[in-house]
Amino acid sequence: MGPRLQHRPGEIFGLVGFLRDHGEAVEYHLLTLGLKLEQLGTDALSWRDLWVIITRAPAGSAIHRSVDPEAAAWASGEINAWLFAAAVDLLAHGNWQRQGKRNARKPEPVPRPGEKSKGAVFGADPIPVSEFDAWWESAA
């Protein structure tokens, strides 16, 4: 289902408000259709055309992501990767608990999309200013 326009008196007034709130997403969606917002009000892109394009934008489109990012994530399948990773983590953790070995390594969680890897951490503890100054001077 496409994004919902807030009810405002008059379709054009409602579209203007929608463009104010979600203009970049609408422009992007129009570009994917070979249209430009500058064409609005011409035979190439009437106000009615824009209304139909916005109200019928497919789930996962830029317009849909702008209006309701959470629903768009579910519709685009983006959330599936998180759910699969959670399921794998739960299975691995359950198997780890049931193996009965006290010194067995706890399983590492599956990396999630968009998460930064937990690499080496530098500078976990603060150092005195005098040590920093000495280090800074030695680097110059």
pTM greater than the 0.85 cutoff:
no
Same domain assignment for residues 17 and 70? yes
Mean pLDDT score across all residues of the chain:
82
Same domain assignment for residues 16 and 71? yes
Domain count, the chain: 2
- Residue 6, in any domain of the structure: no
CA dihedral sign, ordered 6, 10, 11, 13: negative
16's tokens: 């203007």
Same domain assignment for residues 18 and 48? yes
Same domain assignment for residues 54 and 84? no
What residues pair up with 45 in beta bridges, in sequence order? 40, 42
**pLDDT tens figures, 11-38:** 788 888 889 999 999 999 999 999 999 9
- Residue 41, in any domain of the structure: yes
- Alpha-carbon distance of 108 to 89, in angstroms, equals 8
Q: Which structural domain range is residue 106 located in? A: 77-112
115's tokens: 């998460």
Helix (H, G, I), strand (E, B) or coil at 110: coil
Of 75, 103, 124, which one is at a domain's C-terminal end?
75
- Alpha-carbon distance of 20 to 23, in angstroms, equals 6
Q: Measuring CA to CA, which residue among 51, 113, 53 is closest to residue 84?
A: 113
**pLDDT tens figures, 71-83:** 777 666 767 777 8
- Residue 2, in any domain of the structure: no
- Residue 140, in any domain of the structure: no
Give how far the C-alpha of residue 45 lies from the chain's centroid of Cα atoms, to the nearest Å. Answer: 29
Q: Are 60 and 28 in contact (CB under 8 A)?
A: no
